[in-house]
Structure 1
Amino acid sequence: MVCVCRASAVHSAAPSFALSSLSTRPLRYAVLGAGFAGLSVTWHLLKLCHKDVSLHIDICDEVGIGGGASGVAGGLLHPYSPKVKPLWKGAECWAECLKLLSVAESALSSKELDLEMDGYQNMNGSVVLRRGILRPAISLKNLMMLKENARNGLDSCRIETIDEDAARNLVPKLYIPLNTAFYMPQAVNINSQRYLEALFIACQNLTKETSPSSLGHKELFLQKKSINDLGELEGTYDAVIVCLGAKMIMLPELTGKLPLRTCRGVVAHFQLPDDISNAYPELGPSILSDAWLAIQSPRSLYMGSTWEWKSTNSSPEVSEEEGSRAVAELLPKVSAIYPSIKEWSFRRARAGLRAMPPLTPHGSLPLMGCIDEIVRPNSSCKYWLFGGLGSRGLLYHGWLGKLTAQAVLSCNEELIPSELISWKKVMNS
């Protein structure tokens, strides 16, 4: 399907005759959601839009940057599948994600950045913790899968097979059930909330690269408001990109029309008491197992996560009862690999509501595409969807956000891989 656009705005493909026919008003886009998907799309819209095209973007999120599941994510990043077969487009997703991480880090290192500005209380410290990830084999089936991943590993994120002694050199007192673990030294741990705030600042910096008097002026605004009906945006924008995660199924135009399931996950924060000297190694890897440990510092870590299917609770706040249940579920899984966790103290828990996509022959893939026929056929505004990233949102968001931006700017859905828009045919059949 190819949409009709009033002018081609893609930087690399805009013909000269199209630029001369541009309206004097800017292209106006609304990006709904300020998580991994929404901010990746925003960055790429600003980056890829032709320098001579004026562009106005409103990011709409009722909470603000990282207010949903993205801001709660544990942030363990690697390009491998939990199944035996290779992850769909793992190399492309990994490469683009690393580029966006670099963009965010550069934004933080800018001498012009004022970290004391209102609303950026989480900006002190690193966006990316480069300590690697360790995956112990916990069953024969799991061992086979990890060996297959190691054989098909990427040069940019290799997998090393190590025994228990080597694993304990990385993290003392680990227990490796089958005497085999898989170490990914180039895998990283992201502080998700800090990353999202840094990426938003990078988007702001992009808009400052053009002066108000230039032909292609760029504007970016964060609107802290909820969108309860897509109809309220009609007539204001040239395109609306829905990146609301689990909340998109609550929009009246999309309720019952998307093949998504919701899943609430709780992440627990643990700290090591000051009177205990058995700190985690300074550069020790994070750990993936039945539960995961995302190491923040020698005395601070996150443990996750639980899976509550069909939940509609999108609040990040966790009650004492829910937190206790989560810890009771996660602690035995972690202590089976890292017994020293019993010396750590639970501090608090946060939760996120994920939108889980359907299973396809290529795995569980996000939903993308133009949704005019679902929302408002023949509308002057074009509606797009980028959602259902599930538990791999951090890995997928960079490359797929770029593809979404290219499709929106050129009004061409054919730029999106067919397996990511095939859900529409299934829903319409």
Structure 2
Amino acid sequence: MHIDIYDEVGIGGGASGVAGGLIHPYSPKAKLLWRGAECWKECNKLLNIAEGAATTRKSEIVDKDLDHELGEVIVWRRGILRPATTMKNVDILNENAQNCLGSCNIETIDQDGAKNLVPDICVPFNSAIFMPQAVNIHPQRYLQALFVACENLVLDLTALGYEGNKISLHKKSVNSLVELAGEYDAAIICLGAKSDMLPDLSGRLPLRPCRGVVAHLQLSEDIRDEYGTQSPSILSDAWLAAQGTRNMVMGSTWEWRSRDYSSNVSAEEASKALEELLPKAAGVFPSIKNWKFTRARAGLRAMPPLTPLGSIPLLGSVDDAVNGNHICKYWVFTGLGSRGLLYHGWLGKLMAEAVISCNEDVLPPELTSWRKIQR
């Protein structure tokens, strides 16, 4: 099996690499997401694989896009705290705490319990939930470590006598699927919000683009009270992803219908994002005002259509759009929205099975129902 990855911005250079990295299998109202159990299980498997690859690298091929030293922290396993900010939140959080996954349970706590976890937390309605198994990851390090894990797998298979396997990264774009005609047995389009920019798919995917800005914060040098080494990240109207004791990511804004794909953020856009996010974050963690803004980054989410089951990603064969037949050669994998870091493991597993078997029927019908939705 030979796999070529074409990515003009490199591994983790898009919206997924910009994300805050808070991962749990629940919706904003704490209800279990569609297929949340399956996604959470596969997500944890890949987190373990990425951590292993980052500390025991075997490959001599060094990805030029790595912006860090392998072995740095990829996953912070200290849970996520969500204070209730309205009376309606109190009822919803308490109700859904009764129906949660054993592998990622929800604990209902009061203000005293929350302060034991984050001393400076503010719990306006004396009610919060704590998800002790939820995690916070560094998305770019994680995605790059997964690529390293794939390289390592090729080396392991070769050592066992299974020669001929290969994986390569090409840092360039593909302007049309016609460029790939005759070269591959299958092509999977996973371009996120850029998927419908391919002329072959233009106007065919019901995606809703949404730009999000996140702010990177650092504790001022003159302040000694660091964020607790075991204190959880905070999920509220604005989330705070703790990365160590003196670094934090705050997010995120939602600019619907944006077509700005750049991760760069102008001074004006950064200022507007801070004006929007800081008051929300300070409402539950007042000490955030002592943290210093260092930079802002942005990404364009590929939001799927809303359905009775929630926002379901878009997967399936698109041969009819590309060449008018159904030979299962061209596939689309997009619309993961703001939950790509949770969905990708399980959906990737399904996608691989469908591609290898040339059988779209292995995909749950919810994933292909987008064809019935008009843009």
Give the TM interval when normalised to the shorter protein: over 0.9
RMSD: 1.9
Q: Could you list the per-position Cα deviations for residues 262-291 of structure 1 after superposition, in whole angstroms to 9, with x for gaps in the alignment?
A: 000001000011111121111110000000
The answer to whether residue 101 in structure 2 is matched with residue 154 in structure 1 is yes
| CA offset digits 1:147-204 (Å, max 9, x no partner) | 2321111111111111111111111121101100101111100100000010000011
CA positional deviation for 1:393 = 0.8
Aligned pair in 2 of structure 1 residues 401, 289: CA closer, same or farther (>3 Å)?
same
Secondary structure of the equivalent of 2:253?
coil
Q: Distance in 2 between matches of 1:295 and 1:56?
A: 39
Question: Which 10-residue stretch deviates more, 223-232 or 411-420?
Answer: 223-232
What is the letter of the counterpart of residue 218 of structure 1? N
User: In the aligned structure 1, how far is the partner of 2:215 from the partner of 2:61?
Assistant: 27
- Deviations, residues 56-96 of structure 1 (Å, cap 9, x unaligned): 10000001101110100100011111246531111110000
Amino acid at match of 2:232: P
8 A contact 2:81–2:129 mirrored in 1? yes
Count of matched residue pairs:
374
Residue 248 of structure 2 corresponds to residue 301 of structure 1? yes
Q: 1:370: which partner in 2?
A: 317
Deviations 1:84-133 (A, max 9, x none): 65311111100000001111011112163679874323234111101110
1:173 and 2:120 are equivalent in the alignment: yes
Q: Quickly say closer, same or farther: Cα 1:117–1:402, change in 2 above 3 A.
A: closer
Aligned counterpart, 2:20: 74
Which residue number corresponds to residue 403 of structure 1?
A: 350
CA distance in 1, matches of 2:122, 2:159: 60
Inter-partner Cα distance in structure 2 for 1:355 and 1:143? 31
Aligned to 2:129: 182
Q: CA deviation at 1:231?
A: 1.1
Tell me if structure 2 keeps the 8 A contact 1:84–1:144. Answer: no
- Of 217, 231, 242, 1:270 maps to 217
CA distance in 1, matches of 2:161, 2:243: 44
> Is the Cα–Cα contact under 8 Å of residues 111 and 123 in structure 2 kept in the other structure?
yes
Shift of 1:245: 0.3
- 1:297 is paired with a residue whose SS is coil
Cα distance, 1:96–1:213 mapped onto 2, change above 3 Å? closer
Structure 2 residue matching 1:302: 3-state secondary structure: strand
Give the distance between the partners of 1:193 and 1:215, measured in 2 at CA: 30
Matched letter for residue 207 of structure 2: L
**Residue deviations 1:343-377, cap 9 Å, x none?**
11100000000000001111110000111112222
Q: Given the alignment of the two structures, is residue 108 of structure 1 paired with residue 46 of structure 2, yes or no?
A: no
2:2 alignment partner in structure 1: 56
Partners in 1 of 2:161 and 2:21 — Cα distance?
Answer: 39
Within the alignment, does 1:258 sit opposite 2:205 as a pair?
A: yes
Moved more, 192-201 or 77-86: 77-86
Residue 406 of structure 1: CA displacement? 0.3
The share of aligned pairs that are identical, in percent, is: 60
- Residue 380 of structure 1: CA displacement? 6.4
2:331 aligned residue: 384
State the partner residue of 2:75: 128
Counterpart position of 1:311 = 258
Aligned twin of 2:308: 361
Aligned to 1:249: 196
The answer to whether the Cα contact below 8 Å between 2:328 and 2:358 also exists between their aligned partners in 1 is no
Deviations 1:360-418 (A, max 9, x none): 11111000011111222237671001110001111111101100000000001000000
C-alpha contact (below 8 Å) 2:11/2:65 kept by paired residues = no
Could you report, residue by residue, the CA deviation over 1:8-36 in whole angstroms, capped at 9, with x for unpaired residues?
xxxxxxxxxxxxxxxxxxxxxxxxxxxxx
Conserved 8 A contact 2:58-2:152: no
CA distance in 2, matches of 1:286, 1:114: 36
Letter in 2 for 1:73: A
> How far apart are the structure 2 equivalents of 1:112 and 1:209?
9
Cross-structure match for 2:239: 292
Does the 8 Å CA contact 1:234/1:381 hold for their aligned counterparts? Answer: no
Contact 2:210–2:301, Cα closer than 8 Å, also in 1: yes
For 2:10, the aligned partner's letter is G
For the structure 1 residues 384 and 115, does the alpha-carbon distance in structure 2 shift closer, same or farther, using more than 3 Å as the test? closer
Tell me which amino acid in the other structure corresponds to 1:237: Y
Distance 1:426 1:273, change over 3 A: closer
Structure with greater Cα Rg: 1
* AA of the residue aligned to 2:250: M
Q: Secondary structure at the match of 1:241?
A: strand
Among 337, 342, 352, the alignment partner of 2:299 is 352
SS in 2 for 1:257: coil
Alignment check: 8 A CA contact 1:370 1:383 kept: yes
